[in-house]
Structures are given as C-alpha cells and as structure tokens.
Amino acid sequence: MVRSPSRVRHVSVEASVMFALVVRSLKPQSIPKSGIIGALQGKNYSTVSEATFEVKSCDLYKLEQGPNTSVSLSRDDALFYYRQMQTVRRMETVAGNLYKAKYIRGFCHLYSGQEACCVGMEAALTGDDAVITAYRAHGWTYVRGVSLVGVLAELTGKHVKVIHLTYIMIFMLQIPLGAGIAFALQYQGKPNVCVTLYGDGAANQGQLFEAFNLAKLWNVPAIFVCENNGYGMGTSVERASANTDYYTRGDFVPGMRVDGMDILAVKEATRFCKDYALKNGPILIEAATYRYHGHSMSDPGTRLKIDTEVRKEVEEAAEKAKSDPELSLENMYNDIYVNPPADYTVRGCDISIQHSST
C-alpha cells in the first residue's frame, strides 16, 4: 500500500536544506530562463549567514499551542546538518553492502530515509540528555558522538570497538527503560530529558501504555517518540492499528505529529517538547517519516564537495572495520557487570570453563 502524498515528502532529505537555502537567497530577476536548475548549475549558492524558514505546523493533542512554525537557521548549522545526514546515509549504504558481503552477520536494520529524525532531534538536545532506541540505531549512534569506525566495527564485530553497545533486540523493551531513565534524571535533580524512540510496528504492545501511565503518574521528563515510517516490518500501519494517530495514544499524555522528513520542523518540535517535559512531564512525538532500505538517494550530477568528502570518510572507515582483527574469546566475557572485582570470573556453558571478566 502506497502512503498518501500528505504524509510523505518525496524529496531527498539531505538535499532539502541546501536546496532551500539556494531558493530563498535568489531574487526572481536573478533566476535565468532555465529556472532553479539553471541557478544551481551556475553555482549561485547562498552566501547569507542566516535564513528563516516556515515549516508545517504540527498536529496537536491535548496542547493549546505547538512549536513555532518560523525557524531560523545559520549557514554553518545548515552545512553541519547536511554533513551529518549525508554521512548517516552513506554509512548505512556501506553497512548494507557489508551485510551483503557477509562482513555483518545476523540482523542489520538501516536508517536510510529517516536521517532528519536523528539529526533534527539531536540538534535540540545536549550531550547530557539521554536517548534510548531499539535496533535501528546506527544513525543515532553516530550523531550521539560515536565515530564511523566505531559504528561499523561494532557491526562487523571487530576489535577496534570504541563503544560498548547493547542492542535491545526485543521490540519495545526500551520504552519502560526510557521511562526509568527519565525518572532517574528527575530523582537526581538534573535539568535533562530522556528521548525514548520506538517504531509504529511496536506501538501496539502493552509495555508502551504501562510506561506512559507511570511516566505521567510521576511526571518524569520523558519524550516518547514514535518514528512512524509507515510499515511495521512489511505491514502497513492501516492494517495493524485501529488508531493510526499515534501521537494521540498517550491518554493523559499530550502529543504532536511532526513532519519527520523536515529537519527544521523536527528540531523545533524537539526543542518545544524538551521545554515542556522539564516543566510538565511526559509528552509524545509522532515523526511521520519513511525508510528507503539502504538505497542511496543522492541526486546524480549535483554532488557537493561535502558529498565527496563524506563518501571517502565512510569508505575508509569501512575498510578499517573489515581489516581489524576479530574480537578474542576472552572479550566475550567482559562488560557483563559494572566495575567487577579484579579477580571476578564468569563461567561458560560448562562449569569447567572459567574466564576473567572486566
């Protein structure tokens, strides 16, 4: 089933920011007869230091007003967001190729198409805010500060691990954990929120509503985010949910639906929700987005210098992830407990097998 045009923006997300800057900076009389394409070919890129854009208003639930629809953006921020989205897209393309070449085994869920969600939300957060998600985590892991080599080496099981990730492969387990993290932030008196993400395919499980209830009961600073890409695995939302307005399903928890393909709308919605959650308790965001299954959507013939740099950086990281030695057997027994005693051991499948654990 094809999603309705009103819910999907059929445009490359990473091109939209730069394209918008170009269009807004051109005066009508400066555009040649060949139109915007001619302007692009003539390299009439914007040189303004800042621009203001109008974004689509959010659908609201139990809220009298929503995020601003007028959003300002600096040139440096635009280029930074573009680089991040382009990097995530290329990284996921490479990850897909590594999976096909059997360098990555098991499951590999790609984030291609949803880049505006992680980049836009991260732009409204601080490093002290918490984020928890499930298996479609590559983009989020990167924007949270992990290097390309770190992400790809983690996927390929190589030794050059600079992170210690635990992938929550059971659908929805991250939701009650996210509510607990938000409670911990509140208990410690920290001015931060926990962003807890899940997909539309996991939105009908009981754990979700239990977490909503406790989060609202204690008014913890939680932002629950449904990244609605239209399909739970291969099943469309219309075939799986009696109510597809996921932002309204928090009962007493307010919510909003934002255009998840518009990075500026996502950023502004997250900024609004963080402020709300710190003052009033939990809130929901439904980000209407779409996933492209790892296919690159870069437009041929309009590649920027950033695109070439990002492609080279991701490919170098992929080579490093493939060539690094595999993890030793001893490493399988580490990172089970936090700060175990120096002489702590863990048994294997047989009691005669004992390994030290750090």
pLDDT tens string 272-281: 999 999 999 9
Residue 288: predicted pLDDT: 97
The domains found in the chain, sorted by start residue, are 49-323 (3.40.50.970), 333-358 (no CATH)
pLDDT of residue 301: 39
Contact 297, 12 (CB under 8 A): yes
The winner for highest mean pLDDT among 14-23, 294-303, 310-319 is: 310-319
Q: Of 7-21, 33-47, 56-70, 282-296, give the range with the top mean pLDDT.
A: 56-70
State how far the Cα of 347 lies from the Cα of 350, in Å rounded to an integer.
Answer: 7
Residue 17: predicted pLDDT: 45
d(CA 161, CA 153): 6
**What value, to the nearest 5°, has the Cα angle with vertex 305 and ends 121 and 270?**
5
Q: What is the mean pLDDT of residues 275-290?
A: 97
What pLDDT is recorded for position 171? Answer: 52
- CA distance to 27, 30, 62, 294, 311, per residue, from 109 (Å): 43, 45, 34, 9, 20
Phi, psi of 154 (to 5 degrees): -65, -40
> Where residue 36 falls among pLDDT bands split at 50, 70, 90?
very low
CA distance linking residue 58 with residue 56, whole number of Å: 6
Q: What's the confidence (pLDDT) of residue 121?
A: 98
Residue type, 1: M
Residues 114-141: tens digit of each pLDDT: 999 999 999 999 999 999 998 889 999 9
User: 195, 121 in Cβ contact below 8 A?
Assistant: yes
CA distance 20 to 14: 11
Where b means 16+ CB within 10 Å and e means fewer, 122-160 reads bbbbeeebbbbbbebbbbbbbbbebbbbbbbbbbbbbeb
Write the DSSP symbol of residue 113: T
Q: pLDDT per residue over 157-189, tens digit each?
A: 886 655 555 444 445 689 999 999 999 999 999
Question: What is the arithmetic mean of pLDDT over 290-309?
Answer: 55
Judge whether residue 348 has pLDDT over 90: no
- pLDDT band at 55; cut points 50, 70, 90: very high
Q: Has residue 18 got a pLDDT over 90?
A: no
Closest by CA to 111, choosing from 327, 323, 289, 317, is 289
**What region does 62 belong to: left with phi over 0, alpha with psi -120 to 50, or beta?**
left
Say how many CA atoms lie within 13 Å of 357 toward its Cβ. 17
At 292 the pLDDT is 79
pLDDT at 25: 38
DSSP calls for 47-109: --SEEEEE-PPPEEES-S----SEEEEEHHHHHHHHHHHHHHHHHHHHHHHHHHTTSS-S---
Residue 265, burial from CB neighbour count under 10 angstroms (0-12, 13-18, 19+): buried
Handedness of CA 153, 76, 56, 125 (dihedral sign): positive
User: Residue 40: what pLDDT?
Assistant: 43
- Asked if 321 contacts 153 with a C-beta cutoff of 8 angstroms, the reply is yes
Residue 342 has pLDDT above 90, yes or no: no
Confidence of residue 13 (pLDDT cuts 50, 70, 90): very low
